[in-house]
Structure 1
């Protein structure tokens, strides 16, 4: 009888040990599911000095994380809302990258977050552009309209307005062309051009440039030298990460010689969180800044064809866009 009692007590004690050890292990390895929302700007454009349209879109995400007890995860997703299960409760360092259709990394973001039974979701902002790309702009002009001393002034600015070094190579004066090339960090830039003949500016252009990782942004820019024409063209170029579309109206629609003309820029389909007042709109005539912080410009142009460039910018990454207008005034 005593042996039976001792055996029963021993078995009960072993059961308690197993119970408490099991509870301790469960407490140490408690897990939860993290629901991670990835947010990033759109990388879209329509044309001009950008890579292909499909390369501007983020099509997939690569996500890695390191947490308690050196637990890690590594996964790919084509969704912006990702559920990651069986993660140890505690602090996690998470890095996410947005990739385009060629699996080139476009943008990156990181997050340190506490995963618990209470906090099981987080938002990771992809807000750092990644890598370098190349600018290749072919500049052309009509050789019959310039002197043999023709020269080109080219200035390149980043989105913050800082001057970037850009070397203008020797011009091919016989063909009337030159190629501007430079490796740049991913982002948006402003290219300003002035063509001189006999030390006088005869043409100018201002364009927005979008650079992405591992790609070439290229286009041909024609330097128009004013001539009399019965037509003018309006072209809005959205070569930014967020396509800011708009329209330009002219008043009067058919200007007469010596008449005052007003150009007005109106954005179309702005995102809900962006108002017209948030945009920085600048007007250039023949490459010269003539109006800042205004959606309209008024002047009395001289006879001939004049190039007007409208530059639209916002504080968000890659938001710079440009529009070009050729306005013809009769004699």
Structure 2
């Protein structure tokens, strides 16, 4: 599929995080817009609309054995994410479809209409071992497209029907649409939810995560989930040096006051095409601070933009990363966060009926 937005020049698009359609690493040739000298400036760029593309997936559960990830199974109902978070480490995945990790990632979205059917098939497979399924590990399961497509809702109903445990990470208050289902599952210890809160500053939120719920709405979502009896955590992620790291304690305090009982954080990750996209974003929004931010990032990443080693990619190394880690631990201890180790219950799982199974008359 060809890129509809230009690779160059960079410019702000209202409601979008990336400011270019930076070419993916697998593209051999790229095109750019250049003035021929006859015009004072380039012709205006057209507004970029969101395009939803149907994808008939062949499987739905992804597995991993990474030692620094607390789950072995995950589901992503969507590819790409309209939230437009500039730092999103899932952006490079669009390069595998010959699309840009930049604006394409936010505007060329793929949804899987057969997701719940595939989930039923996966749970029915002989030898399936029940373990919590994580949702929201790559793209947000409650991004704006979910309001129309309801793929996440269908998956949730399937998991509830078979009493299968799951975890959810989201930035969206749309999750409250499914509050009755989640509350019922929580009664049997089948669900935990984490709400990502990157900043409490509305202006910074609009720059970093243009199509996400505001900070106050996210805290209200934590409160609503907690009041419904759903164990809820806050994800202070990512922590970006000299951009939002000063807010760490305020984010934890606000979430704790709203009812969160668990907390986690991730230091900014800049894999593959995310690094140049983030540098473009810095140059546009914080030009006077850009060099300092990237210096701190590299000090925390072994002199590079990114570290991919297990155990270091989430937390980083060096003085800044160590101080951030200590600040997090101290404030969590002060607030009483992470005092209980939560484990979901897999013993309630009921296998979907097999073809030819004798149905009970009672």
Q: TM-score range by the shorter chain?
A: under 0.3
Q: TM-score scaled by structure 2?
A: 0.23
Structure number, greater radius of gyration: 1
More strand by share: 1
